[in-house]
Amino acid sequence: MAIHTALTIAGTDPTGGAGVQADLKTFQEREVFGMSVITSVLAQNTTGVQMINHMPLDLIQAQLDSVLTDIPPSAVKTGMIATPEMMEALVDRLQAIDVPYICDPVMIAKSGDPLMDEHSRKSLRETLVPLATIVTPNIPEASDLIEMKIETVADMEKAAKLIVNELGAKAAVIKGGYRTDHSTDVLFSNQTMTHLHADRTNTKHLHGTGCTFSAAITAELAKGKSIEEAVSIGKAFITDAISYTLNLGSGNGPTNHWGFRLKGLPGK
């Protein structure tokens, strides 16, 4: 049996709903061997972010080298990369590995706490986004990347196109989680626009949805799936993770990473 491996480079969430912890759980659920490089350690929970400590650049690079020189990943994703220096420290290594790379441009947590400072946003456009096989911004992140207001699905389509044609990513998914009317995501890949529809779950438990979605896509790309197939499986995975809510925490709780396994069972 072929063993597929996936690497996440991201920040942490001790409550397990977002960041590296959500990515590793998702890789495991998709039967891909998960590995992680930690960029920042956060004290956060379902109510917000309490403290952030960035790892030294040489430690980030050393973690990455430990992985790359021993167990090559079949796909890589980045999440919270908080400073321009961290982005620059990753560029050479990401350029050198010839596997799919998913860039989730994490800027602000659902709680509203900033996970990246203002001047990092420009660096993200110039360093990581052009290297990406798929960029997966939510609506505010996409607005920031291409400096345009996004209100309608047509705006989401325009943004996805610009991220590919102007910023140089191979494909882009604009996630619709910030909308209140529906949860349609827009994928632009191979010069083709696809809409990914899903029922909207009325819940406040949406902590780590973006991390989980992009990790599921990464896992499928690690198995050799096409961009279109991987995004479609990722969308089904996150939809179930949201709808089979766990109701954990006193604030905005995590998703259910084993939700897709419950499909067809009583309770849905």
- Of 13 and 185, which CB lies nearer to ligand MP5 in the complex structure? 13
Contact in structure between 175 and 210 (CB atoms under 8 Å)? yes
81 makes contact with ligand MP5 (CB under 6 A): no
Query: What is residue 154's three-state secondary structure?
Result: helix
Given ligand ADP, ligand MP5, none, residue 235, with its beta carbon under 5 to 8 Å by kind, binds ligand ADP
Contact footprint for ligand ADP (CB under 6 A)? 138, 175-178, 183, 185, 198, 200-201, 203, 206, 209-210, 213, 235, 238-239, 242
User: At its nearest, how many Å lie between ligand ADP and the CB of residue 58?
Assistant: 29
Residue 164's CB is within 10 A of a number of other CB atoms, namely 21
Residue 42 contact partner, candidates ligand MP5, ligand ADP, none, CB within 5 to 8 A by sort of partner: ligand MP5
Tokens at 66, concatenated:
């430990």
Which residue number, 133 or 209, has a Cβ lying nearer to ligand MP5? 209
DSSP code at position 2: P
Encoded amino acid at 166, one letter? E
Tokens of 38: 């930690």
Q: In the complex with ligand ADP, which residue's Cβ is closer, 121 or 200?
A: 200
Q: Which helix (H) or strand (E) holds 57?
A: helix 57-68
Determine the longest span between alpha carbons in the chain, in angstroms: 50
Distance CA 65, CA 234 (A): 28
Q: Which of residues 113-152 bind ligand MP5 (CB under 6 A)?
A: 115
Residue 187 DSSP class: E
Which member of 6, 11, 90, 259 binds ligand MP5 (CB under 6 A)?
A: 11
- Considering beta carbons, is residue 67 or 176 the nearer one to ligand ADP? 176
How many positions of this chain bind ligand MP5 (CB under 6 A)? 19
